[in-house]
């Protein structure tokens, strides 16, 4: 089941974040701050057997516009639930929910490490393509992927 994030999900999502993004610090603070940025940032979780097993974080970029540009800022699934289609379902269902709050979705932006195999997921689910590579941005080369929808 995919649903909107609730404050009571904080510890579970922070734990997933910490495992999935080990180079990033203070996961609990990051998730709480991101949730506090609503409606600029909207978060969703995947549940199985009443347990949070994944999350997606969408951020509206450059102000609220008639033709919105969203960033899939982060997405992660617990290691034991990966490669089961959960991330794809999270993207598709949560994006559908976010779109209900937008006039028009113009594009989706994703940044990720150049060596991240999840690029295939972003191509498949969003139609995103690499538009730029930024050398040594965070912990390595980062790619900017864009899905142009309108």
* Average pLDDT score over the chain: 95
What is the model's pLDDT at position 139? 82
Query: For position 52, what pLDDT does the model report?
Result: 98
Domain membership of residue 8 as a residue range: 2-148
Helix axes 10-20, 27-36, angle to 10 degrees: 120
Q: To the nearest 10°, report the CA torsion of 59, 123, 115, 146.
A: -50
Long-range (24+ apart) CB contacts under 8 A made by 21-26 are 21/74, 21/76, 23/138, 23/139
Q: What is the pLDDT of residue 138?
A: 83
For residues 63-82, average pLDDT? 96
CATH of the domain at 25: 3.40.630.30
Instruction: Say yes or no to pLDDT of 150 above 80.
Output: no
Q: What would the two tokens of residue 140 be?
A: 């390595």
Overall domain count for the chain = 1
pLDDT interval class at 57 (50, 70, 90): very high
pLDDT at 140 over 90: no
pLDDT in tens, 92-114: 999 999 999 999 999 999 999 99
Q: Is pLDDT above 90 for 28?
A: yes
The phi, psi pair for 36, rounded to 5°, reads: -70, -15
Check pLDDT > 90 for residue 67: yes
% of the chain surpassing 70 pLDDT: 100
Q: Distance between CA atoms of 39 and 59, rounded to whole angstroms? A: 8
């Amino acid at each position: 089941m995919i649903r909107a994030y609730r404050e009571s999900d904080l510890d579970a999502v922070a734990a997933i974040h910490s495992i999935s993004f080990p180079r990033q610090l203070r996961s609990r603070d990051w998730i709480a701050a991101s949730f506090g940025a609503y409606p600029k940032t909207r978060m969703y979780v995947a549940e199985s057997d009443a347990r949070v097993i994944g999350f997606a974080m969408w951020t509206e970029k450059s102000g609220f516009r008639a033709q919105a540009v969203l960033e899939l800022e982060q997405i992660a699934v617990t290691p034991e639930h990966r490669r089961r289609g959960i991330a794809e379902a999270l993207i598709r269902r949560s994006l559908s929910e976010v779109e209900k709050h937008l006039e028009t979705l113009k594009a989706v932006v994703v940044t990720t490490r150049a060596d991240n195999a999840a690029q295939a997921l972003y191509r498949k689910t969003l139609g995103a393509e690499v538009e730029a590579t930024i050398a040594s941005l965070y912990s390595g080369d980062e790619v900017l992927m864009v899905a142009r929808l309108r």
